Homo-oligomer: A and B are copies of this chain.
Amino acid sequence: MASTYENILETSYRLFAEHGFEKTSMAMIAKALNISKPALYYHFESKDAIIDTLFEELCRSIAFSRFFKLQDYTRTNFAEKLTSDGLHLIGSQQEDARYSQIMKQYQALGYRNAKYAERLLEILEGFTAGFAELLQHGAALGAIPDDDVLVRAQMLNMILDSIDNYINYGFKYDYNAIWIKAVADIVKGVDHA
């Protein structure tokens, strides 16, 4: 049996994804949980506190190193591994529609509260840095060209981020083909014997 605290977070997450932060009132959350508003306020001092807590949880769950493990990449499997790790990430986001919907709202919150914008930028920068490190590693292995590593990393990051967004928009692009081609363009220029 989950604690009330956890139930609140879980239900809030669902309602926020469905209706947005602004249109989800404390009354709605309470009703969905079959508890009263003051009971909510016992666990969280404000609606913003719920939003904040969810945000911190989400941020912790996103990290480049959770999806791309540098030590597994070798000269011969580099392109193949980069492809499959990316496809795995794409697949996991295609399954969880709520994730992108919530994240987009935190982006919007960034206007009024710099904290959100900064934290999200950190995550994106983390991915760019992760790709840069990975490509550097690949270049050192001789698996990919060693020029323009940063620009290549930024492109991979953008493509992956876009794929995430477009999935959320409901586009029926062939994301796997796009990612495969993106990786192919990155590794292009090196022969593999």
Binding site for B on A (CB under 8 A): 18-20, 22-23, 101, 104-105, 107-108, 111-112, 117, 120-121, 124-125, 148, 150-152, 154-155, 158-159, 161-163, 165-166, 169-171, 173-174, 177-178, 181-182, 185, 188
Pairs across A and B, CB under 8 Å, 29 listed = A19-B112, A20-B108, A20-B112, A101-B111, A104-B107, A104-B108, A105-B111, A107-B108, A117-B170, A120-B169, A121-B170, A124-B171, A148-B181, A151-B174, A151-B177, A151-B178, A151-B181, A154-B173, A154-B174, A155-B181, A155-B182, A158-B162, A159-B159, A161-B162, A161-B165, A162-B162, A185-B185, A185-B188, A188-B188
